[in-house]
Amino acid sequence: MKSLSNLLVDSFGRVHNYVRLSITDRCNLGCQYCRPGNKAEYTPQMDLLTFDEMVAIVNALAEMGVTKVRITGGEPLLRPRLEELVAKLGLITGIKRIGLTTNGMLLASKARALRQAGLTDVNISLDSLLPERYARITRGGDLGRVLDAIEACFEAGFETLKLNVVLMQGVNDDEVESFLRLTLNYPLRIRFIEYMPIGVQAEGWKAGYMPLEGIMAQCAEKGWNARRVEPSGGLSNPSYCGTADDSGPARYYRISGAAGQFGLISPVSDHFCMACNRLRITADGYVKPCLYWNDEWDLKPFIGNDELLRQVFRQSLEAKPQRHEMLVQPSCKSSQHAMHRQMSRIGG
């Protein structure tokens, strides 16, 4: 049992036990909602954290009560030998779950090796089931490769497999029913996510943003009885749909008789900041206590000295705001505080 003074507690009493580790800000896609504009700015290779530096940071965090790591990016599968990082993270005392969030383009051939290395949870981003639309939203994505990746994940036997769908008005909001239908036959969790104003222009965001409240009404219109699923409860296939350790931002539902579930992630219309348990590490070695606010602390000078790393983590948590202000300050350029990094440079 960790002593209270050694835990990652912020000034609002929130205990942080989950770290999102961005391992690259490069991406092989350019999703409209994440990397708007064609100009890609990447951290030079030499400024990226090495795997050993990441392991040192996570080790210090694990000593302070972190039990879960989610590897993200950019596109994390662009880092060669990702399975080696997974294996090293798995050796850290206290780390119980290692997840990956990916666009799936490079996953099919890697799924088995990642599972064998100790990866437990896979989340794949998939915003359309129509090949041309998918290519348009992602600027070049190949839907067939994502579907192959999903199949490979089933075959590799991951404990959970979730699909992320960022719902945008006038872009893919007509596909809600098709995604819901997938849950009828497959033991997946399909999560609809509200479009957040992070690293995008406020005007464009306002045109695309839509709250998720209409989804339950759509179920009712189809005559589908969708019941709330509590973590680990009522699953037809718990091994793919979730675990007791599943305290993420989604509220889950299951349509009567369905093999899978759908989830609603509503960070804008119904934020979950009061239950926030997450810290973020950027690929260039900064700790960000909140996805939305600009504040970040450079960890690189302190890697190798756990006491100093712990001080920086505490300092960042002391400064963590209570909540975001996405509706008040949607990424406006004039703000000194709202987010300036694009999502691909934070990791979602």
Ligand X SMILES: C[S@@+](CC[C@H](N)C(=O)[O-])C[C@H]1O[C@@H](n2cnc3c(N)ncnc32)[C@H](O)[C@@H]1O
Rounded CA-CA distance 348/346 in Å is: 6
Q: Which stretch binds ligand X (CB under 6 A): 99-107, 213-221, 271-279, 308-316?
A: 99-107
- Residue 30 interacting entry, from ligand GTP, ligand X, ligand SF4, none, C-beta within 5 to 8 Å by type: ligand SF4
Q: Which of 191, 110, 204 is nearest to 158 (CA)?
A: 110
DSSP code string of 230-280: -TT-S-SSHHHH--TT---S-EEEEETT-SSEEEEE-TTTT--GGG--EEE
Rounded CA-CA distance 125/256 in Å is: 25
Rounded CA-CA distance 219/274 in Å is: 29
Q: What is the CA radius of gyration of the chain?
A: 19
- The separation between the first and the last C-alpha atoms of the chain, rounded to the nearest angstrom, is 30
Q: Which of 225, 214, 77 is nearest to 152 (CA)?
A: 77
Tell me: does residue 74 bind ligand SF4 (CB under 6 A). Answer: yes
Q: Which of 66, 27, 15 is nearest to 281 (CA)?
A: 66
Site for ligand GTP, residues 205 to 244, rule: CB under 6 A:
none
CB 226, min distance to ligand SF4, A: 25
Indicate the residue among 59 and 121 with the shorter CB distance to ligand X: 121
Q: Is residue 1 annotated as involved in ligand binding?
A: no
Tell me: does residue 27 bind ligand GTP (CB under 6 A). Answer: no
Q: Is residue 34 annotated as involved in ligand binding?
A: yes
* Helix residue ranges, H only, the chain: 51-62, 82-90, 111-117, 131-138, 143-156, 176-185, 202-208, 214-222, 238-241, 306-318
- Residue 198 interacting entry, from ligand GTP, ligand X, ligand SF4, none, C-beta within 5 to 8 Å by type: ligand X
- Residue 195 interacting entry, from ligand GTP, ligand SF4, ligand X, none, C-beta within 5 to 8 Å by type: ligand X
Rounded CA-CA distance 279/69 in Å is: 10
Tell me: does residue 193 bind ligand GTP (CB under 6 A). Answer: yes
Site for ligand GTP, residues 36 to 95, rule: CB under 6 A:
70, 72
Tell me: does residue 324 bind ligand SF4 (CB under 6 A). Answer: yes
Tell me: does residue 254 bind ligand SF4 (CB under 6 A). Answer: no
Tell me: does residue 107 bind ligand X (CB under 6 A). Answer: no
CB 136, min distance to ligand GTP, A: 20
Look up residue 233 and give its two tokens: 């409860």
CB 323, min distance to ligand SF4, A: 5
Helix (H, G, I), strand (E, B) or coil at 18: strand
DSSP code string of 71-86: EESS-GGGSTTHHHHH
Binding site for ligand SF4 (CB under 6 A): 27, 29-31, 34-35, 73-75, 103, 125, 138, 271-273, 276, 278, 290-292, 323-324, 343-344
Residues tagged in the binding site annotation for [4Fe-4S] cluster: 27, 31, 34, 273, 276, 290
Residue ranges that bind ligand X, judged by CB under 6 A = 27, 33-34, 72-73, 75, 101-103, 125, 164, 166, 193, 195-196, 198, 343-344, 347-348
Contact residues for ligand GTP, defined by CB under 6 A: 70, 72, 99, 101, 121, 123, 162, 164, 193, 248-249, 265, 267, 276, 278, 291, 348
